[in-house]
Amino acid sequence: MLPSLFITLSVFSIALLEAKHLPSYIVPCKKSDPNLNTCAKQHAIDATARILHGDRSYKIPSFTPFSIPLIDVKGTTGITFQLKDLKLYGLNTTQIKDVNFDLPNNHMYVKVFIPQTQTISQYLMDGKLLSLVIKGEGPAEIISDNVTVEYFIDYVLINKPDGKRYVDVDALKTNLTLNFSKTHYNFGNLFGGNKLLGDNFNNLLNENPKEVDEISGGTNKVIISSIVSSIFNPIFKAVPFDDIFID
């Protein structure tokens, strides 16, 4: 009996240790506030710069820049596309445009605008794009202008052993829309380093944004989902729901 009792106790004490308040730079709003969304938007604006610097005690990474080791896009177009050692710059200019918390229906919505994002990475491309057979590996730079992201979250609340309600991070349902005015691609070392062919291909990409949308759209959605979950999930895991929205 003793070992099992011990295990129960230690699990319980870990759960108690894990419960945290919101970081001091995120001021909670009241559930009953008739202007809950105005409050949430203002507090999100006030906290954005601080959140983007990361917070080790909440396991929130730094976003200046944001690093992703590997993105692997296997499109339906029959092309393999990988970005390695990716660094995304520009998030420090993020503007919160709209925030909507529908607490009775467990919905959250956030709309942000980023004037310009720049990603620097190593790429690997193998397959057919714009009717050309492409095989290449080297440095890649992708710049997007006037980026608007709308992010929707449906959540469920669960009771944890400490008796408090938390957002169930494993049951989050999310989707997003992405819009930008222009994307500029520069892939180096294409076609075995043939500069003329490489330059022509980069021009082709930049002049045919619709055709590369599937690949860049898929890549961007992976990056954005990773950013949003890097901010929300650690907070949802550590902070009881009733400390995020207070009575």
Is the torsion defined by CA of 93, 94, 98, 104 positive or negative? negative
Beta carbon nearer to ligand NAG, 59 or 87 = 87
Bridging pattern class, strands 165-167 and 173-179: unpaired
Residue type, 64: T
CB of residue 72 vs ligand NAG: minimum separation in angstroms?
Answer: 23
**Residue 112 half-sphere exposure toward CB, CA atoms < 13 A:** 21
CB of residue 142 vs ligand NAG: minimum separation in angstroms?
Answer: 14
**Residue 50 half-sphere exposure toward CB, CA atoms < 13 A:** 11
Bridging pattern class, strands 245-246 and 29-30: parallel
Beta carbon nearer to ligand NAG, 152 or 191 = 152
CB of residue 5 vs ligand NAG: minimum separation in angstroms?
Answer: 44
Residue ranges that bind ligand NAG, judged by CB under 6 A: 89, 92-93, 107, 145-146, 152, 154, 175, 177, 179, 181-182
Beta carbon nearer to ligand NAG, 84 or 111 = 111
CB of residue 89 vs ligand NAG: minimum separation in angstroms?
Answer: 5
CB of residue 107 vs ligand NAG: minimum separation in angstroms?
Answer: 6
Which residue is listed with tokens 């759209």? Answer: 217
d(CA 3, CA 147): 55
Beta carbon nearer to ligand NAG, 207 or 247 = 207
- Give the distance from CA 1 to its chain's centroid: 46
Cβ neighbours of residue 166 closer than 8 Å, sequence gap 6 or more: 157, 158, 159, 160, 236, 237, 239, 240, 241
Beta carbon nearer to ligand NAG, 109 or 191 = 109
Closest CA to 110 of 81, 148, 150, 83: 150
CB of residue 110 vs ligand NAG: minimum separation in angstroms?
Answer: 12
Beta carbon nearer to ligand NAG, 57 or 181 = 181
- Give the distance from CA 133 to its chain's centroid: 31
